[in-house]
Amino acid sequence: MEATRILIIGRSPAGGLPFVAAFKKRYTVWIAESGKSALDLARQVQPHAVVLDAISMRTPGDRICLDLRSILPTVPMIHIHPGPKDQVKSVADVLLFQPATPRRLLAILDSLMQASGDDVVTCGPFALNLGRRVLIVEGQEIQLTPKQALLVETFFTNPGVTLDRLTLMERVWQTDYVGDTRTLDVHIRWVRQMIEPDPSHPRYLLTVRGVGYRLETSLEFGVDGENDALALALPKD
């Protein structure tokens, strides 16, 4: 089996980048300490994922990410950004702000690697393998029924969009009858139990009163953790 190659971009302090040791236990790690060397290594080793620690390089890193994306268009990228948030122009798949601990970084990377195969839809911190009908949450695989998979796929392909009950019934159950939507409500409850840290107080799959539902996800990892969907989905230290 081919080893999974991870390209890490960052300037190592005396003790080394804190998350490198954790990565090396599961992956083959390559390290670049500049944007130019990162581009050279990316062409040479063709990594399966990229982690840019822009904070250690004392740069926003947005340009480095953009250059890497031009030669690695489909490779998952994690960007540890110094901020401020309102000035970020990163093209990375996952954008993190401090604190970003090694454990959380590894959990994110594991999820990205599990979701990097064919026929997979990713949405924020989640992924759905369409062929296998498997939902990936916090690196864990959850087997779905056909209707559950269709419902999750509908939300994942429409993030941030309010979907009314009629639309959901038509797409998942192939019916325009909305006189009794208890089946939809039950399936919504099941999905919340799978993805929400606290299903009774949903932060991702939100109810839009009198209309339907909306899936909200965020790839930002804030300093204080507020409004941070990714932080809620990852294990706490």
Q: Are residues 49 and 140 in the same domain?
A: no
Q: Are residues 99 and 125 in the same domain?
A: no
With a cut of 60, say whether residue 135 has pLDDT above it.
Answer: yes
Tokens of 121: 């839809």
Q: Are residues 58 and 145 in the same domain?
A: no
User: Domain limits at 178?
Assistant: 120-220+227-233
In this prediction, residues 160-187 reach a mean pLDDT of 84
Q: Which of 85, 114, 143 is the last residue of a domain?
A: 114
Q: Are residues 154 and 126 in the same domain?
A: yes
With a cut of 60, say whether residue 113 has pLDDT above it.
Answer: yes
Q: Which of 51, 84, 114 is the last residue of a domain?
A: 114
Q: Are residues 81 and 32 in the same domain?
A: yes
Q: Are residues 137 and 215 in the same domain?
A: yes
Q: Are residues 82 and 125 in the same domain?
A: no
With a cut of 90, say whether residue 108 has pLDDT above it.
Answer: no
Q: What is the pLDDT of residue 123?
A: 83
Q: Are residues 137 and 86 in the same domain?
A: no
Question: In 10 A of CB 236, how many CB atoms?
Answer: 10
- CATH assignment of the domain containing 94: 3.40.50.2300
Q: Are residues 108 and 193 in the same domain?
A: no
Q: Lowest-pLDDT range, 9-18, 48-57, 68-77, 215-224? A: 215-224
Tens-digit pLDDT profile for residues 208-224: 999 999 998 754 433 33
Q: Which of 114, 138, 155 is the last residue of a domain?
A: 114
Q: What is the pLDDT of residue 177?
A: 64
Q: What is the pLDDT of residue 225?
A: 34
Output the 3-class SS for the chain: CCCCEEEEECCCCCCCCCCHHHHHCCCEEEEECCHHHHHHHHHHHCCCEEEEECCCCCCCCHHHHHHHHHHCCCCCEEEECCCCHHHCCCCCCEEECCCCCHHHHHHHHHHHHHCCCCCEEEECCEEEECCCCEEEECCEEEECCHHHHHHHHHHHCCCCCEEEHHHHHHHHHCCCCCCCCHHHHHHHHHHHHHHCCCCCCCCCEEEECCCEEEECCCCCCCCCCCCCHHHHHCCCC
Q: Are 48 and 2 in contact (CB under 8 A)?
A: no
Q: Are residues 130 and 29 in the same domain?
A: no
Nearby residues of 101 by Cβ (< 8 Å), 6 or more positions away = 19, 237
Mean pLDDT value across the chain:
82
Q: Are residues 151 and 197 in the same domain?
A: yes
- CATH assignment of the domain containing 155: 1.10.10.10
Q: Are residues 56 and 137 in the same domain?
A: no
Structural domain total, the chain: 2
With a cut of 60, say whether residue 118 has pLDDT above it.
Answer: no
